[in-house]
Structure 1
Amino acid sequence: MAVRTTPPTQRVSLDRSIERMRKQLTEFASFLGRGKPTRSLEEFDLETERLIGDLLGQASDLLHAYEYAELGEAAGLVNMTDEAPEGSGLDSQRQSLLQRSRVLESCVSELEARRTATPKKTKIGRILIGPQIAEHMSTEIRSVSQDASLREAGQLMQQWKLGSLLVTNSRAYVGVLTDSALARDVAAKGLDPRTTTVKLSMRTPVAAIEGDRPIIDAVRMMKEQATRHLAVTQDGQIIGVISVSNILRYYSGVV
């Protein structure tokens, strides 16, 4: 059986790219307290954005992830307020620095994956890089009946300390209710939470992503669909939920 190999010229180019990215990662360590920075963080960020764009492409999801990491808050991921980031015990500046570091590590991993002789690809040819979504999702699935009242749903969110609930019709998951949708309908629209059912406020269909996809794909889908929560599937079945909080904990190194 023939083995695919990376052309010599391309491999040399990738070797150099990996070396450049590793050098950037090594320099970044000084901003985490391992040494004294030789330039400002703003200058480093500008160069890093250019480097990621040059080596991985301006459309790279990792370039977007680095830009989000610079913001250092969940609000930088998507322009929604569905869920406050669950506390990690880190101040926002430190968290932002750790997120940058994880993105740079992911950049190195992607370049190394491109260099390998037989990178793992999806059905549409995309290289799978980084940790899988299933490794960082919440496996405990919390749901509420579509016929329950908004008040009941709100109480469940408070009890379980969640920003969203999957909605079921007793046979299948048919939607998602977020705390922001609940607050919007009750406060802004003046609906009575005691008599208004979840069905009237839920979002349909359920936004879902396969668990074997890399985390960066979840970042992209959340941005595209303007949501902070995704159901995670395996063989067509929902096996968990991944939220902005899960992703930020990963990029902060808190897992």
Structure 2
Amino acid sequence: MTTGNTVGDQMSKTLFFTGPETTAFDAVDKMYQNKVSALLIQIDGEFKGIFTKTDWRNLILQGQADPHKAKVGDLMTSPIITIDKNETVGRATMLMEEKVFRHLAVTDNGKIVGMLSVKDLEKFYYKMHQKTNF
């Protein structure tokens, strides 16, 4: 594999997470504070789900619940879709398209070690485009 083309090369290494009892409103506030668009949901020391700004948007637009009362543990997507850090960016792109997800948890030997988002892929493809001089 070419250096820079793996998921591990492109992922965000800082993990942002919260517990299942956090309200949707507080979870989104944490996302904005940290400039991320997803939080992993940790239950009993393990990541069991993910809550995203897209989940938030759908919650608000569809009027499904009060964001000040709804808990992310009830709203999260589970199981988490993962990809190994040694997979290619191309494989990650295909998986996101196939699953219709904007975030993948990145694993190393089965343990979540990072996150890869559509924004990370945009940066990667933008750099690739610049290298081609078109």
Please report the TM-score for the alignment, with normalisation by the length of structure 1.
0.48
Decide whether the 8 Å contact of 1:145 with 1:170 is kept in 2: no
Report the Cα distance in structure 2 between the residues aligned to 1:208 and 1:189, rounded to whole angstroms: 29
Question: Are 2:46 and 1:178 aligned?
Answer: no
Q: Which structure has the larger Rg over C-alpha atoms?
A: 1
| % same residue | 24
What letter matches 2:88 in structure 1? P
Q: Deviations over 1:96-126 (max 9, x none)?
A: xxxxxxxxxxxxxxxxxxxxxxxxxxxxxxx
Question: Are 2:24 and 1:150 aligned?
Answer: yes
Task: Determine the structure 2 residue equivalent to 1:248.
Answer: 122
Decide whether the 8 Å contact of 1:129 with 1:214 is kept in 2: no
- How far off is 1:189 after superposition? 2.6
- How far off is 1:170 after superposition? 3.2
What letter matches 1:152 in structure 2? D
SS of residue paired to 2:51: strand
* Aligned partner (choices 210, 216, 219) of residue 90 of structure 2: 216
Q: Which has the higher helix share?
A: 1
**What does residue range 192-203 of structure 1 map to in structure 2 within 5 Å?**
192-203=66-77
- How far off is 1:129 after superposition? 5.8
What letter matches 2:44 in structure 1? S
Aligned length: 127
Question: Are 2:64 and 1:205 aligned?
Answer: no
What letter matches 2:101 in structure 1? T
**What does residue range 106-117 of structure 1 map to in structure 2 within 5 Å?**
none
Task: Determine the structure 1 residue equivalent to 2:99.
Answer: 225
Structure 1 gap ranges (5+): 1-127
SS of residue paired to 1:252: helix
Over the aligned positions, Cα root-mean-square deviation in angstroms equals 1.5
**What does residue range 65-144 of structure 1 map to in structure 2 within 5 Å?**
131-144=5-18
What letter matches 1:245 in structure 2? K
Moved over 4 A (4+): none
Greater RCO structure (CA 8 Å; 6+ sep): 2
SS of residue paired to 2:91: helix
Q: Which has the higher strand share?
A: 2
SS of residue paired to 1:253: helix
- How far off is 1:201 after superposition? 1.3
Report the Cα distance in structure 2 between the residues aligned to 1:189 and 1:129, rounded to whole angstroms: 46
